[in-house]
A = this chain, B = another copy of it.
Amino acid sequence: MRQENNSENSILKRIFARAADSAENLAARAVRLGIGDDAALFRPRRGHETILTCDWFLEGTHFRSDQHPADAVGWKCLVRALSDVAAMGGVPRCFLLSLALPESHTGRWLDAFLGGLRRASRKFNCTLAGGDTTRCREILTNVTIVGEIREARAVLRSGARAGDVIYVTGRLGEAELGLRILRSSPGQMRPGNAMLKKHLYPEPRLAVGQWLAEKRLATSMMDLSDGLSSDLSRLCAAGRVGADVESGKLPVVQHSSTSRGAGVHPLHLALHGGDDYELLFTVRPSKVNMLPKAFRGVPLTAIGRITEQRGVVLLKQAGRERQLHPGGWDPF
């Protein structure tokens, strides 16, 4: 943890006082804090590989500080990165937080941010081990997660084969609908409905991912961060395969007055909505009967099949079909 001056030192002290685990917790995880030193030390368990992933969460690009509560920013910057560990089937161990802030946000905003970060850190059992803070005109966060998985158990994107059944966890499009609700509301608001909560405080599907990896049930897996149409295309490209998706099987958002009011079609949200952080995975036909309808309360839904022919095809009711092109979130 680089410490650039005394005022930065005081910020670092607050970060660790509010967001870090107790020393006993750290010892149990074999993590030695990077605060007050140049780097953190981590002792991985025997027979395990280390999983490494990092993720941007930037004001302007990914959130707006006038609309997103600070504690949701703290929660989500960690969860986004945790979702990548879930998508390998891994167990998160610790994380590094890189935080750049305007001086105006080093007071109450930072406290609320750290509150959200700490709740996520505790809930998903991932300890703050170090990081770097500096000053910037905008709020910038970058989180690196260090996780573990038993050797050779990581589920890659590239393992899907023709005939495999395609599954998703949870419901698709809820976070996108939540974002639309947020945008149509004046100022900041606290999550009142489930869609908004899914946008502001998503949950990484760690338990499902770990179970699929441990039982060797998934042939390929990734998380849905940009939307099914974009992410399924990537999974297919990685495995040099294609996919047929049955639109009638997609676990779309439940129709409600809210979603109808937003004037968006549930199928469109399910295909192209980003930020769900659900898992997309494939299962050999012979193992499909080992999958329950839900795992620890999270629905597991078969939505189609992997094909030999490249490209993703959407099969609609009444036998119509069309090519599905990536239409998810796009920073460039």
Contact = CB atoms under 8 A, between A and B. Distances in A.
Contacts of A326: 5-6
A311 interface: no
A136 interface: yes
A54 B142 contact: yes
A157 B35 CA distance: 10
Interface in A179-197: none
A22 B42 CA distance: 27
Interface string A7-20: 11001000000000
A56 B4 CA distance: 11
A85 B39 contact: yes
Interface residues of A, number: 77
Nearest to A106: B332
A137 B62 CA distance: 13
B38 A52 contact: no
A285 interface: no
A88 B38 CA distance: 7
Interface in A153-187: 154, 156-158
Interface in A124-165: 129-132, 134-138, 140, 142, 144-147, 149, 151, 154, 156-158
A43 interface: yes
A329 B4 contact: yes
Nearest to A225: B2
A66 interface: no
B103 A54 contact: no
A40 B58 contact: no
Nearest to A36: B238
Given A6-B326, A58-B134, A151-B43, A88 B53 contact: no
Contact of A331 (B1, B5, B94, B149): B5
Given A3-B234, A98-B56, A147 B39 contact: yes
A49 interface: yes
Nearest to A137: B60
Given A54-B98, A136-B61, A326-B5, A43 B37 contact: no
A92 to B, nearest CB: 10
B135 A332 contact: yes
Interface string A28-46: 0000001011111111100
Contacts of A145: 39
A103 to B, nearest CB: 6
Nearest to A146: B52
A116 B147 CA distance: 30
A100 B330 contact: no
B2 A55 contact: yes
16 contacts: A11-B332, A36-B234, A38-B84, A39-B53, A39-B85, A40-B51, A41-B88, A43-B50, A50-B146, A52-B146, A54-B132, A54-B142, A56-B100, A56-B134, A62-B134, A142-B142
